[in-house]
Amino acid sequence: MSQTLSGVGVTPRSGVGTARWYRPRDGRSETGGREHDPESERERIERAFASAEAGIESTRTSVADRIGEEEAAVFDAHEQFLADPTIREGIEAAIDRGEPAERAVEAAFAGPIEQFEAMEGRVAERADDLRDVCGRLLDGLSGEERADLSGLPTGTVLLAERLTPTDTARLEPERVAGFATIAGGRTSHAAIFARSLGIPAVVGVGEGLSTVEEGETVGINGETGEVVADPDEAAVDRLSAGVDHDAIDERVRTTDGREVDVAANVGTVSDLDRAIESGADGIGLFRTEFLFLDRTEPPDEEEQLAVYREALDAFDDRVVVRTLDVGADKPVPYLETEEGSNPFLGVRGIRRSLGPDSALFETQLRALLRAGAGRQNLAVMFPMVATTEELDAALDRVETVAAELGEAGIEHARPELGVMIETPAAVLSARALAARVEFFSIGTNDLSAYVMAVDRDDERLAALGDPLQPAVLRAIAESVEAAHDAGAWIGVCGEMASDPSLAELLVGLGVDELSMSPISVPAVKAEIRSIAAEDAERLAERALAAERLPEVEALVDHD
- Its pTM stands at 0.73
Q: How far apart are CA 193 and CA 396, in angstroms?
A: 40
In 3D space, the residue among 532, 508, 528 whose CA is nearest the CA of residue 516 turns out to be 528
- Shared domain check, 164 and 111: no
Do 152 and 127 have their domain in common? no
- What does the radius of gyration of the chain's CA atoms come to, in whole angstroms? 25
pLDDT digits (tens, 9 = 90+) for 290-348: 888 778 889 999 999 999 999 999 999 999 999 998 865 555 666 766 655 565 677 78
Q: Identify whether residues 268 and 233 lie together within a single domain.
A: no
| Residue 87 one-letter amino acid | I
H/E run at residue 321? strand 319-322
On whether both 482 and 366 belong to a single domain, the answer is: yes
Are 528 and 475 members of one domain? Answer: yes
Q: How many other CB atoms sit within 10 Å of the CB of residue 174?
A: 6
The torsion defined by the Cα of 71, 11, 442 and 355, in degrees rounded to 10, comes to -10
* CA–CA distance, 239 with 224 (Å, rounded to integer): 9
Amino acid at 407: E
CA distance 272 to 263: 11
What is the pLDDT, as a whole number, of residue 503? Answer: 95
Domain count, the chain: 3
Domain span at residue 108?
38-142
303 located within any domain: yes
Order of strands across the sheet that contains 217-221:
3-6, 226-229, 217-221, 14-22, 156-160, 176-181, 201-203, 8-9
Query: 13-41: per-residue pLDDT in tens?
Result: 888 999 999 988 644 555 544 567 889 99
pLDDT of residue 459: 47
* Per-residue pLDDT at 240 exceeds 80: no
Sort 201 into a burial class: Cβ within 10 Å, 0-12 / 13-18 / 19+: buried
Q: Are residues 235 and 93 in the same domain?
A: no
Angle at the Cα of 181 (from 445 to 502), degrees rounded to 5? 30
Residues in contact with 372: Cβ distance below 8 Å, sequence separation at least 6, in sequence order: 308, 312, 378, 412, 413, 415
Q: Which of 142, 175, 193 is the last residue of a domain?
A: 142
Largest CA distance in the chain: 80
Produce one character per residue of 421-436: b if its CB has 16 or more CB atoms within 10 Å, e if not: bbbbbbbebbeebbeb
* Residue 30 maps to a domain: no
Question: Given CA atoms 199, 204, 210, 216 in this order, what sign does their dihedral have?
Answer: negative
Return phi, psi of residue 12, to 5°: -75, 60
Weakest-pLDDT range from 80-89, 247-256, 324-333: 324-333
Residues 7, 191: contact at Cβ < 8 Å? no
Same domain, 192 and 214: yes
Domain membership flag for residue 415: yes
As annotated, the active-site residues are 189, 493
Over residues 441-473, the pLDDT tens digits come to 999 988 998 999 987 655 456 678 889 999 999
Are 129 and 187 within one domain? no
3-state secondary structure of 531: coil
pLDDT of residue 337: 62
From 193-202, 234-243, 417-426, 501-510, the region with the lowest mean pLDDT: 234-243
User: For 465, phi and psi rounded to 5 degrees?
Assistant: -85, 5
Q: Which of 126, 153, 169 is nearest to 20 (CA)?
A: 153
* Same-domain status, 439 and 486: yes
For helices 38-66 and 85-96, what crossing angle results, to 10°?
150
Give the residue from 94, 119, 142 where a domain finishes.
142
226 lies in the same domain as 339:
no
**Which band of pLDDT confidence, cut at 50, 70 and 90, is reported for residue 233?**
confident
Q: What is the DSSP string of 194-254?
A: HHHHT--EEE---GGGGGSPTT-EEEEETTTTEEEES--HHHHHHHHTT-SPPP--S-EE-
User: Is the pLDDT score of 362 beyond 90?
Assistant: yes
Residue 254 contacts residue 483 (beta carbons within 8 Å): no
Are 295 and 321 in the same domain?
Answer: yes
CATH of the domain at 158: 3.50.30.10
Same domain, 18 and 49: no
How far from 314 is each of 137, 306, 364, 490, 523, CA to CA, in Å?
Answer: 43, 12, 20, 23, 22
Beta partners for residue 178, in sequence order: 157
In this structure, is residue 249 part of a structural domain? Answer: no
Residue closest to 63 by CA, chosen among 164, 152, 179, 186: 164
| pLDDT at site 202 | 94
- Judge residue 26's burial from the number of C-beta atoms within 10 Å of its C-beta, 0-12 exposed, 13-18 middle, 19 or more buried: exposed
In a domain, 31, yes or no: no
Q: Where does a domain end: 121, 142, 163?
A: 142
Q: Are the C-beta atoms of residues 497 and 444 closer than 8 Å to each other?
A: yes
Does residue 245 belong to any structural domain of this protein? Answer: no
pLDDT of amino acid 195: 82
* Burial zone of 389 (CB within 10 Å; 0-12 exposed, 13-18 middle, 19+ buried): exposed
Q: What is the pLDDT of residue 270?
A: 78
Q: What is the CATH number of the domain that holds 80?
A: 1.10.274.10
CATH value at residue 320: 3.20.20.60
29 domain residue, yes or no: no
Mean pLDDT of the chain: 88
412 contacts 405 by C-beta, under 8 angstroms:
yes
Q: Is residue 246 part of a domain?
A: no
Tell me which residue of 174, 173, 218 sits closest to 193, measured CA to CA.
173
Residue-level pLDDT at 144: 76
Q: What are phi and psi of 358, to 5 degrees?
A: -55, -40
